[in-house]
Chain A
């Protein structure tokens, strides 16, 4: 075990901690950002530090530092114990943890092409070529492009004998074209708004074919300026895999976080309509074809790893099976309250943040039979929504409204004219109950979001969402003034 981790645990135990764990995390990130051809964001960041979490008198304390000297480790471990004792003053119910076996081993993100071995010149050139191609489209006002590689070396140890070592690698990239005319500002992105992210090497960025998509992205942004707004009405809608990923994220991912269900985010992000009595009742979350899983083992998923940040092995857990609520994303503390073991979802945004229940890869399972293209082909009259532009959902994750960058009419099974500023809105259970078609494995895409915010202070997390596109009936579209 890393000596500083051992020292932190020993100090905490000697001061009265009944349980302690510690993480030594180094995070290196290399990012290229280009705005309208101007590379003013060529950045390397490198941070390292240790976080110590302790249980004393049944209450939690946590302290962190980036000064990795023995005396500082002693100070931080002692501070964590003091904080826990303070917590115990206002903690009437002692924390109890599940009894997962001690975690031991090593895990590393599989990378075909280690992104940190690809010369930065090459990564700059790849991105600059795509950015230039977007700007070559007449009418494009400004562009933004991003390429990033992040690696975390994470050592974990706990007083129960756990000791794991992980090397987690993420890559991501994005291109975005913007067109502006009078009161209109239209945007198109690839592969997703804010970028696409995977647990993978640079092969993921190469596979996105940024240059090959750049002209299309620019052209669509300009074309949208002239497109009519999407008229209001109740329509059949088809969501592309990227927008469906965010729909899953907001309306299934967050409400199945069990800490949220128990109210620990009530003063910030909110609570959940999926209360635990609904688990016992077999609550109908969606139609029979809707099955959703939390799967930290899926290769390439942005939320894949070996162990979570309290030493629970990565696993696949069903949340919704054939439309029925069957599980939650849990931690060692929350899972026993529903009589289960942790689902392994505790993660922290760096060494200086406390682990929280975070989405891993929350995936809508593909349904064999029809690809997304075939679903569109069998739809007589509908609207196809692609690439998120804005999102909003209430504090219990029921009432939502999304806007996408683009929509197309579906008429007689074919994609037709463009609509600008498209929106749709609904309520989570009735929306998912109206889902009558989900694409099969041929259309399945592992999407990645890098900006999932939760907790105070806010922690940003990379999460994955596998989705293959889906159709929903009788949905309100064209909501609001435009």
Chain B
């Protein structure tokens, strides 16, 4: 994807808007994404899946007399684009009138962001990925562990145009490498790195990190249901922050009365500050959202107090304010979603986090978490790839994976200390920049079996 692709995809989006007008739309929106994705997966130290896919998808949203229809597909020729526009208009004419009416992005200035695109993106060919996988696997093998994982590279040019004058386009890229190392003694370890390009990723260090933890995890001891203090590593904290974002920090959730995130209320410990910032170069940024609104930094929690939720054009309009640039592509029944989350770092070194704990747990990662009671952010899930007993301020023995059933809000309030190092973790969708934290009490309701 070249700089010229931005102009070409922007032109295609604007041609989509013109096609909508010609087809009879009063107003309309076109979203175009040209993508290239490549992924190399490995298991048992060997590559078992290796894929690449190219595609261009056009989504057209037609508004006719206050009604809305959406058609998406490929638009490889002007005739095909006209056909798609015609379909969207025909759908709109079948729909009932929307009240309040749908809102489209206007001609707001969209400042470019740094870091959305890496010039290194796409320079990693299948041979380079295979060599990277070899280095990663070898680094884990040095600890006696066997490597599993994936190396993923995505590139896209995205453009959005509307009849209201929005015309936004940019290139975006992402490289993510992750690995689980499995040791013959039964231990497993995890490591991942994500960035806008492969340049900053060192596969050897990932294999080394995961291999070291795997080598420590053998001969796990059993622990029954219990409430214990915990230190959660950044991977686990990322799950906590991301899940809270999905469940509560959404204008739609607040509007429907199912959110805990009421601005002005205390929902976290005094040290907890969480922002969503799609303009931060370190958070896989984007200058506009999937509706064409410019992205904004939103402080969700400031020193424990909920400050705001994120909005798309629909929720913002109904709340009497402007979009914060958190819209998803139409149709979007989920509402706005924070996808560039960061929790502020604290001052604690890892040893500081562990030191006050007489008996507790150090948890690297959570698995398969799901809300049991969304309003209370009560979540169940398992520990995975590293769960260790902490005794007298130090990690001592591995523990067999535990099931927890815990309010993530209570956990946020219960944060006693925050680590000074942070790690960028990929989520679906988005990323979280997360530190490690110590929490006074965490509830474990079961354990897995040998």
Contacts and interface: CB of A to CB of B under 8 A. Distances in A.
Contacts of B68: 39-40, 42
Interface stretch (B5-13, B128-136, B282-290): B128-136
B258 A268 contact: no
A224 to B, nearest CB: 12
A480 B375 contact: no
Nearest to B70: A43
A71 interface: no
Nearest to B80: A46
B91 A43 contact: yes
A445 interface: no
A103 interface: no
B411 to A, nearest CB: 11
Contacts of B69: 42-43
B449 A62 contact: no
Interface stretch (B23-31, B145-153, B230-238, B264-272): B145-153
Nearest to A263: B43
B104 interface: no
A147 to B, nearest CB: 13
Interface stretch (A85-93, A337-345, A375-383): A85-93
Contacts of A479: 380, 405, 445-446
6 contacts: A39-B98, A90-B134, A141-B256, A180-B256, A264-B43, A273-B449
A264 B136 CA distance: 17
B1 interface: no
The CB with the most chain B CB atoms within 10 A, among A59, A90, A270, A423, is that of: A90
A128 interface: yes
Contacts of A178: 256, 258
Nearest to A271: B182
Nearest to A396: B448
B47 A91 contact: yes
B102 A390 contact: no
A124 interface: yes
A61 interface: yes
B180 interface: yes
Interface string B341-361: 000000000000000000000
A238 interface: no
A401 B43 contact: no
| 6 shortest interchain CB distances as A-B pairs | A480-B405, A41-B331, A86-B126, A46-B73, A352-B53, A267-B148
A392 B369 contact: yes
A392 B382 contact: yes
Interface in A40-57: 40-49, 51
A394 B368 contact: yes
B275 interface: no
Nearest to A27: B73
B71 interface: yes
Contact of B378 (A47, A76, A264, A480): A480
Interface in A332-356: 352-354
B3 interface: no
A395 interface: yes
Interface string B395-420: 00000010101110010000000000
B114 interface: no
- Dominant secondary structure at the B interface: strand
B148 A482 contact: no
B394 interface: no
B235 to A, nearest CB: 13
B374 A185 contact: yes
A482 B130 contact: no
A262 interface: yes
A235 interface: no
Nearest to B428: A458
B375 A91 contact: no
Contacts of A93: 46
Contacts of A86: 40, 47, 50, 125-127, 129-130
A396 B380 CA distance: 16
A84 B50 contact: yes
Interface string B410-450: 10000000000000000010000000000000010111110
Nearest to A79: B52
B95 interface: yes
Nearest to A184: B375
B182 A394 contact: no
Nearest to B96: A39
Contacts of A427: 448-449
A42 B369 CA distance: 32
B94 interface: yes
A38 B71 contact: no
A90 B126 CA distance: 11
B331 A392 contact: no
Contacts of A403: 372, 380
Contact of A268 (B47, B50, B150): B150
A466 B114 CA distance: 52
A197 B384 CA distance: 33
